[in-house]
Amino acid sequence: MSRFKNVAIFGVGLIGGSIGLALRKRGLAEKVVGIGRRQVSLRSARRVGAVTNTTVDPAKGVAEAELVVVCTPVGQIAQHVRQVAQHCPKGTLITDTGGAKQSIVEALDDKLPRGCRFLGSHPLGGREKTGPTYADAELFEGRVAIITPTKNTRAEDFDLLEQFWSDLGSVVIQMPADQHDRAIAMISHLPHAVATALAATVPEEYFRLAGTGLLDTTRIAAGDPESWKQIFLLNRANVLAALEKYAANLSTLITAIHKSDQTELERFLTLAKKNRDALGS
Amino acid sequence: MSRFKNVAIFGVGLIGGSIGLALRKRGLAEKVVGIGRRQVSLRSARRVGAVTNTTVDPAKGVAEAELVVVCTPVGQIAQHVRQVAQHCPKGTLITDTGGAKQSIVEALDDKLPRGCRFLGSHPLGGREKTGPTYADAELFEGRVAIITPTKNTRAEDFDLLEQFWSDLGSVVIQMPADQHDRAIAMISHLPHAVATALAATVPEEYFRLAGTGLLDTTRIAAGDPESWKQIFLLNRANVLAALEKYAANLSTLITAIHKSDQTELERFLTLAKKNRDALGS
């Protein structure tokens, strides 16, 4: 028997599409309703099997939902959750997949009408590809999903959401939204900024010489500019703090090269290797 | 019939071992003589089939060589080439695989004794792994190998070396050593510096949250600190120039986030995505 009769997914891009596909392939939901603005995305999502039903009308889409997952761009999540809360069954749990959590949680926690509750999620490890045609039922397998409870979070809501992500294959971790945002600034937003600056620097005439090193180091710079603009701005203070630490380290490295300081270069490169080896593959 | 009766490889790490393995597997050389300082590496190289003979004595190792490939750490290449030129058959061609070329070429071009000639090579696309146990006969397949001729280079030496790398599967490109060093500073040394600074910045407490983005962006920081120290110092001026351009772009990005400048952020992220998409996968 499926765990859910009806799950609504608002925004059927890579993440929303992959959630739908994983729910379907694992037999976790009978109906997966995809809600989107564009018929073309909704059709793609249905074609790849990520959703069973589609609509451009959020009110219709969530009318019978037992769980609503808002996967729209991070700058729009709060307003979409509020909109959904007007139309879903009373007391429905609503979650999201946004990569910056504090502003969203502050806007929504304990503030929804009709007995609805918001509890934030962030499944880590997206891809540089976008759109439901890249949806992958295994996208969450073995990856971390962070849930950001508050003092208002009900135990049964947390348990339901923890089970939901576990069922999709995720390793679930919980932390407060502010702590999430500091950590993710370092672990995700900083690498994106670094990769972006590198991709912006390499002159086109040298592209034909690109090896795996440059390709790996810049890979995430192919991510959607609009989404990343929103993330940088929503998590602005933490991203700037992470960039400040990075710039200081970069400056240390530049100075060591400038001075041909062998001892300092060895120290720096050895620390970096130690950290990278500890990160695993 | 094999193209070579005897090729000597000085330094049987990942690159030297992979050259030997590729020569053997493709039936290009009857004898591949591995020269190294440590018996343990030489034994590993022989065990994986990268070399047919081994010695710790360079004089013996190159005594019958038709071609010598010096694959030792970049800071030692010039002295090893000079050493080899004292003992190989008169008129032997010697090449290398170093990642910084100008100082090596300046030290050796038209300056070897006994009719020996040096012509520099740089096969792109190493790995963060080191040692002959990671040797891979396909390491050069489809990858660029740069040859750095000078006005003194003989056509027949260039042709032989071009054929050599082509036979190993490489796409051969030629450019002067100074141009090589400027290009490689951007395409290889800068990414390494960037990845290293990032790996040095991320706090250990967050490692468990690392996703593919951080892993990709820092992968090359696992490279050998000693080798990279030598490369940064040998190509110091070009590496510093590349880092200066990168730091300026990073500063542009930081300012745009600081000012919440949406237009500038869009421009920057879109340029980075355009470049990364053009680089391919």
Domain boundary among B145, B175, B205: B175
Amino acid of residue A240: L
The answer to whether the Cβ–Cβ distance between B233 and A196 falls below 8 Å is: no
Same domain, B140 and B201: no
The answer to whether the Cβ–Cβ distance between A262 and B233 falls below 8 Å is: yes
**A121: nearest Cα among A279, A34, A9:** A9
Same domain, A162 and A194: no
The answer to whether the Cβ–Cβ distance between B272 and A183 falls below 8 Å is: no
What pLDDT, on a 0 to 100 scale, did the predictor assign at position A1?
A: 64
Nearest chain B Cα distance for residue A45, angstroms:
24
Nearest to A232 among B207, B221, B257 (CB): B257
- Give per-residue pLDDT as tens, A217-226: 999 999 999 9
Question: Which pairs count as long-range contacts for A31-35, CB under 8 Å and 24+ apart, including other chains?
Answer: A31/A5, A31/A6, A31/A7, A31/A64, A32/A7, A32/A8, A33/A6, A33/A7, A33/A8, A33/A9, A33/A61, A33/A62, A33/A64, A33/A65, A34/A9, A34/A61, A35/A8, A35/A9, A35/A10, A35/A11, A35/A61, A35/A62
User: In the structure encoding, which two tokens stand for residue B95, read together?
Assistant: 């090449």
Query: Residue A236 pLDDT > 80, yes or no?
Result: yes
Cα B19 off chain centre by: 12
Same domain, A164 and A52: yes
> At residue B2, what are phi and psi to the nearest 5 degrees?
-70, 150
| Distance in angstroms (rounded) separating the CA atoms of residues B265 and B26 | 50
User: In the structure encoding, which two tokens stand for residue A263, read together?
Assistant: 């001892």
- Give per-residue pLDDT as tens, A101-157: 999 999 999 999 999 999 999 999 766 677 888 899 999 999 999 999 999 999 999
The answer to whether the Cβ–Cβ distance between A273 and B199 falls below 8 Å is: yes
Q: Which residues of chain A have a CB within 8 Å of the CB of B225?
A: 266, 269-270, 272-273
The answer to whether the Cβ–Cβ distance between A217 and B191 falls below 8 Å is: yes
Same domain, B76 and B129: yes
What pLDDT, on a 0 to 100 scale, did the predictor assign at position B130?
A: 77
Q: Which residues partner with A123 through β-bridges? A: A145
Q: Which residue has the tokens 């190993």?
A: B168
| Distance in angstroms (rounded) separating the CA atoms of residues A103 and A75 | 10
**Contact in structure between B45 and B36 (CB atoms under 8 Å):** yes
Chains A and B form CB pairs within 8 A to the count of: 290
Nearest chain B Cα distance for residue A181, angstroms:
12
- Output the pTM of the full model: 0.89
Domain boundary among A144, A175, A206: A175
Same domain, B26 and B161: yes
What pLDDT, on a 0 to 100 scale, did the predictor assign at position B128?
A: 65
Please give the average per-residue pLDDT across A55-82, as a whole number: 97
| Distance in angstroms (rounded) separating the CA atoms of residues A149 and A105 | 9
What pLDDT, on a 0 to 100 scale, did the predictor assign at position B148?
A: 98
**Contact in structure between A51 and A76 (CB atoms under 8 Å):** no
What pLDDT, on a 0 to 100 scale, did the predictor assign at position B64?
A: 98
Same domain, B266 and B196: yes
Same domain, B233 and B136: no
- Give per-residue pLDDT as tens, B71-91: 999 999 999 999 999 999 999
What is the extent of the structural domain holding B186?
A: 179-279
**Contact in structure between A54 and A79 (CB atoms under 8 Å):** no
Same domain, B168 and B185: no
- Give per-residue pLDDT as tens, B118-165: 999 999 976 667 788 889 999 999 999 999 999 999 999 999 999 999
What pLDDT, on a 0 to 100 scale, did the predictor assign at position A249?
A: 98
| Distance in angstroms (rounded) separating the CA atoms of residues A265 and B238 | 17
Q: Which chain B residue has its CA at the smallest distance from A222's CA?
A: B273
| Distance in angstroms (rounded) separating the CA atoms of residues B120 and B102 | 9
Same domain, A26 and A57: yes
User: In the structure encoding, which two tokens stand for residue B264, read together?
Assistant: 């500038």
Structural domains counted in chain A: 2
The average confidence (pLDDT) of chain B is 96
**B157: nearest Cα among B174, B141, B142:** B174
Nearest chain A Cα distance for residue B155, angstroms:
24
Query: Residue B237 pLDDT > 70, yes or no?
Result: yes
Q: Which residue has the tokens 């086109």?
A: A204
Q: Which chain A residue has its CA at the smallest distance from B222's CA?
A: A273
| Distance in angstroms (rounded) separating the CA atoms of residues B155 and B157 | 5
**Contact in structure between B234 and B188 (CB atoms under 8 Å):** no
What pLDDT, on a 0 to 100 scale, did the predictor assign at position A128?
A: 65
Distances (CA, A) of B139 to A212, B134, B144, B254: 11, 10, 11, 38
Please give the average per-residue pLDDT across B39-44, as a whole number: 94
Cα B265 off chain centre by: 35
CATH of the domain at B240: 1.10.3660.10
| Distance in angstroms (rounded) separating the CA atoms of residues B264 and B257 | 9
> At residue B141, what are phi and psi to the nearest 5 degrees?
-60, 115
What pLDDT, on a 0 to 100 scale, did the predictor assign at position B167?
A: 97
Same domain, B199 and B169: no
Task: Indicate the pLDDT class of residue B1, thresholds 50, 70 and 90.
Answer: low
Q: Which of B181, B209, B260, B267 to mutate to test binding with chain A, by most A CBs within 10 Å of its CB?
A: B209
What pLDDT, on a 0 to 100 scale, did the predictor assign at position B168?
A: 97
Same domain, B164 and B187: no
Please give the average per-residue pLDDT across A219-235, as a whole number: 95
ipTM over 0.90: no
Same domain, B102 and B120: yes
The answer to whether the Cβ–Cβ distance between A269 and B196 falls below 8 Å is: yes
Nearest chain A Cα distance for residue B53, angstroms:
31
Nearest chain B Cα distance for residue A265, angstroms:
6
What pLDDT, on a 0 to 100 scale, did the predictor assign at position A133?
A: 87
The dihedral region occupied by A260, where left means phi > 0, alpha psi between -120 and 50, and beta the remainder, is left
Domain boundary among A134, A151, A175: A175
Q: Which residues of chain A have a CB within 8 Å of the CB of B123?
A: none
Length in residues, chain B: 281
Q: Which of B269, B274, B277, B281 to mutate to test binding with chain A, by most A CBs within 10 Å of its CB?
A: B269
CATH of the domain at B110: 3.40.50.720
The average confidence (pLDDT) of chain A is 96
Nearest to A192 among B194, B213, B258 (CB): B213
